[in-house]
Amino acid sequence: MNHSLGAYEPIVGQAVIRQLRTLGEKFKGLHVLHVNSTSEGGGVAEILTWMVPLMRELGIEAEWKVIRGTPAFFSVTKAIHNGLQGKPVSLSRKEWETYFAVNAENCHELRESLERAELVVIHDPQPAPLLALCANRKGKWIWRAHIDISRPARPVWKNLRDIVEQADASIFSMARFAQPLPHPQFVIAPSIDPLSEKNMDLPDKELEEVRERFGLAPDRPLLVQISRFDRFKDPVGVIQAYRLVKKVLPVQLVLAGGGATDDPEGSEILDEVKEAAGEDPDAHVLLLPADAHRTINALQRLADIIIQKSTREGFGLTVTEGLWKGKPVIGGDVGGIHLQIANNYTGYLVNTPEGAAHGIRFLLHHRDRMAQMGVTAKEFVRANFLLTRHLRDYLTLMAWLLWGDDRHTIMV
């Protein structure tokens, strides 16, 4: 369900909404097209689900197109995704041809919108070849990288760089993710929607229903990691941390994630995680449907501590979600998690299962500290990582695209 801008006023304040409406006035009728590779599952689809309607409410002619692909295509794009995040991968010429051929078909189907749009935002590597394939583009094209490509596998980046160089600008979630490119590179952090099913307040009755559904004990601390079943999220490391804690404290663990249509590796990793969890009745490994947003929301709210022990991370929206629910988060000392977790204020940054176990034990023995961190965490997200700030960043980018030059200050 999408909400109007006014619905966010009680959360972010009247001034913030007024600012968006004033700025949005400048872009009425502007045709903006977002292109990505999945309509559900994963942070990008979630962001576009709210952003496109809000842009429309401001009078922007916003469109969202999803490219279509074959299983072979998504295997290639998953390998590219992994390579960009630093995993050594090698793609054959045939695989690159598949990548381009599927994008060429999509380019043909989307040509009218692609050529007409005044601003095209290409999200992540899957649809990136459109940058090279759409010959008659008229508007400005932006490549939006949502993942950490600070240390990519070179053969993969070399090929992709030739494509994304053709954008007019690129956007990264953090400065350290940026790569040398011949166009301006902007830094825009992602955000969460506080009124979405995944983040809205839920009645206690619903929380209890979810607790019962998954057989979670109400009287024992609950640790929750929500994420795709992906090696970079280190689900097995989370189980190791849980086991270290369980030696001394009676904790429960939930590892829950949904599948995404562009992630063919998910089921393989899920099997590994189930094997690692074994027969332990307090280690719950849950594969949830892509639309189980309220369930995920409830699990995060039932948690005492949220974990996101990634070894590579773009931004880590599940960290943002956890902080928004007033929970301390124990997160991997990587990527965008740095931006969100400040040791002793909103949680702990860790590098190992041992580090995670230490943080969990400390917090469970200091409940007052946990409560204080929860308050700080929520206000931190309210100020920095809600969709209203994200929408404002996009409007600002539009202003630069329309009127920008080398000046520091642009009056619009």
What's the length of the chain?
412
**Which of positions 116-155 make contact with another protein (CB under 8 A)?**
150
**Which of positions 318-337 make contact with another protein (CB under 8 A)?**
334
Shortest reach from residue 130's CB to another protein, in Å: 23
Q: Which of 11, 104, 175, 371 binds another protein (CB under 8 A)?
A: 175
Q: Judged by CB under 8 A, does residue 392 bind another protein?
A: yes
H-only helix segments in 117-234? 130-133, 154-164, 204-213
* Whole-angstrom distance, CA of residue 312 vs CA of residue 290: 22
Query: What SS3 string covers 342-378?
Result: CECCCEEEECCHHHHHHHHHHHHHCHHHHHHHHHHHH
Shortest reach from residue 314's CB to another protein, in Å: 15
Helix or strand or coil: residue 286? Answer: strand
Contacts with another protein: how many residues (CB under 8 A)? 44
Q: Judged by CB under 8 A, does residue 165 bind another protein?
A: no
- Which of 69/331 has CB closer to another protein? 331
Q: Judged by CB under 8 A, does residue 176 bind another protein?
A: yes
Q: Judged by CB under 8 A, does residue 290 bind another protein?
A: no
Helix or strand or coil: residue 317? Answer: helix
Q: Judged by CB under 8 A, does residue 372 bind another protein?
A: no
* Whole-angstrom distance, CA of residue 301 vs CA of residue 298: 5
Q: Site map for another protein, 28-57, x if CB under 8 A?
A: ------------------------------
Q: Judged by CB under 8 A, does residue 184 bind another protein?
A: yes
Q: Which of 6, 10, 11, 22 binds another protein (CB under 8 A)?
A: 22
Q: Cα dist. 164→56, 124, 130, 190, 355 in Å?
A: 27, 10, 9, 20, 38
Q: Which of 132, 286, 339, 364 binds another protein (CB under 8 A)?
A: 339
Residue type, 186: F
Q: Give the range of 35-43, 73-81, 321-329, 390-398 binding another protein by CB under 8 A.
A: 390-398
Q: Give the range of 79-87, 97-105, 220-228, 341-349 binding another protein by CB under 8 A.
A: 341-349
- Which of 73/380 has CB closer to another protein? 380
Q: Cα dist. 213→217, 223, 229, 340 in Å?
A: 11, 17, 21, 31
H-only helix segments in 154-287? 154-164, 204-213, 235-246, 266-277
Q: Judged by CB under 8 A, does residue 186 bind another protein?
A: yes
- Which of 1/15 has CB closer to another protein? 15
* Whole-angstrom distance, CA of residue 356 vs CA of residue 354: 5
Q: Which of 96, 100, 214, 400 binds another protein (CB under 8 A)?
A: 400
* Whole-angstrom distance, CA of residue 124 vs CA of residue 126: 6
Q: Judged by CB under 8 A, does residue 311 bind another protein?
A: no
Query: What SS3 string covers 221-244?
Result: CEEEEECCCCHHHCHHHHHHHHHH
From the number of C-beta atoms within 10 Å of its C-beta (0-12, 13-18, 19+), residue 368 rates as exposed
Q: Judged by CB under 8 A, does residue 249 bind another protein?
A: no
- Which of 16/132 has CB closer to another protein? 16
Shortest reach from residue 340's CB to another protein, in Å: 8
Q: Judged by CB under 8 A, does residue 27 bind another protein?
A: no
In which element (H, E) is residue 396 found? helix 387-403
Q: Which of 72, 101, 132, 189 binds another protein (CB under 8 A)?
A: 189
Shortest reach from residue 41's CB to another protein, in Å: 26
Check if the beta carbon of residue 54 is closer than 8 Å to that of residue 23. no
Q: Give the range of 46-54, 207-215, 303-311, 401-409 binding another protein by CB under 8 A.
A: 401-409
Shortest reach from residue 282's CB to another protein, in Å: 34
Q: Judged by CB under 8 A, does residue 384 bind another protein?
A: yes
Q: Which of 151, 19, 126 is nearest to 74 (CA)?
A: 126
In which element (H, E) is residue 49 found? helix 43-57
**Contacts with another protein, residue ranges (CB under 8 A):** 14-16, 18-19, 22-23, 26, 150, 175-176, 178, 184-189, 334, 339, 342, 345-346, 376, 379-380, 383-385, 389, 392-393, 395-397, 399-400, 404, 407-412
